[in-house]
Structure 1
Amino acid sequence: MKTLLTFFILISNLTLFAQENKVAGDYAFTPESKDGNRIEYKLTLNQDGTFECYYHKYIKEGIPPDTHHYGKGTWKIKDNLVSFFSDKQKDIDEKHTMNFTNSVARFVTKSPRDKSDKIIKIKLQFLESDIFWIKPIGLFKIE
């Protein structure tokens, strides 16, 4: 009985690890307008459960026109929902000012049951965040 229980625990841990490997990687989105304004979002989810985020905004008539913001912390996945956490003592400093605590994104990919030729880009679609501008953003995985 102990052997069977150990086997099931090992299999469930391998499944969780495999899902984290699928999610880890680089994500980005860079919409541009015709007038030269640009916003760049980059997010790296590392295998070790840490992440780094970079946000660059260039608005010609903005004050200032060019701004850069950084964030870092840890992430966890459960049921295709990626939760982000930033430790105020360790992750927030003069450079890394974005606090991702209370941020949740859905990992979106093509269903294994979908046998069509339809191509669906892997992305993280943010659902919740205390960072107001990140809620509607979807970041696509760079492959």
Structure 2
Amino acid sequence: MKYSIALLFFIWSVSSTAQDISGVYLLHTNTEKFELKRTLTLHQDGTFSFHNYKRDENGIPKETNTYGKGYWQIDKKVVSFSSSSLDDKFTLDFNETNARYISKSPRDTSDRVIKTALRFYQSNLFWVKGMTLEKQ
């Protein structure tokens, strides 16, 4: 009986501290002649979708939309991405892409504000490396 109560307490404590990182992460820059919007949606079932929108009044073409999709998994604070299949619409290859999950520690009692975000540190896409997307 003591062991079963201890086991239940252990399972409850582990599940209550598990991090749920699913949600929408966004990077948005907007000026009069330029707009950049990158949206990453992490679904609870372990899949993700990515949309990159760019409008540049001086560019050719003026607007571009690129998409990516695949699977994600987290190990401690490292989120790993992989693309399942590429086609005409989903052209971004997220294989070998890793990001760090950034959040304020529950033990941190200071008043400083740390926004929940993903910071990419490894990717085959040159413009993804170093990118930070904040959780909405």
TM-score normalised by structure 2 residue count: 0.86
Once the two structures are superposed, what CA deviation does each residue of 1:15-46 show, in whole Å capped at 9, x if it has no partner? 49932xx210000010124x420110000000
Structure 2 equivalent of residue 32 of structure 1: 30
Partner-residue secondary structure (3-state), 1:112? coil
Deviation of 1:55 (Å): 0.1
Query: After TM superposition, where is structure 1 displaced by more than 3 Å over at least 4 residues in a row?
Result: 14-17
Q: 1:126 and 2:124 equivalent?
A: no
Query: For 1:120 and 1:100, how far apart are their aligned partners in 2?
Result: 27
* Letter matched to residue 133 of structure 2: L
Query: For 1:104 and 1:133, how far apart are their aligned partners in 2?
Result: 13
Deviation of 1:65 (Å): 1.1
Cα 1:113–1:78 change in 2 (3 A) is same
Partner-residue secondary structure (3-state), 2:94? coil
Cα 1:17–1:24 change in 2 (3 A) is farther
Query: Going by fraction, where is helix more abundant, 1 or 2?
Result: 1
* Letter matched to residue 86 of structure 1: S
Extract unaligned runs of 5+ from structure 2: none
Aligned counterpart in structure 1 of residue 61 of structure 2, from 61, 64, 76: 64
TM-score normalised by structure 1 residue count: 0.82
Percent identity over the alignment is 39
Extract unaligned runs of 5+ from structure 1: none
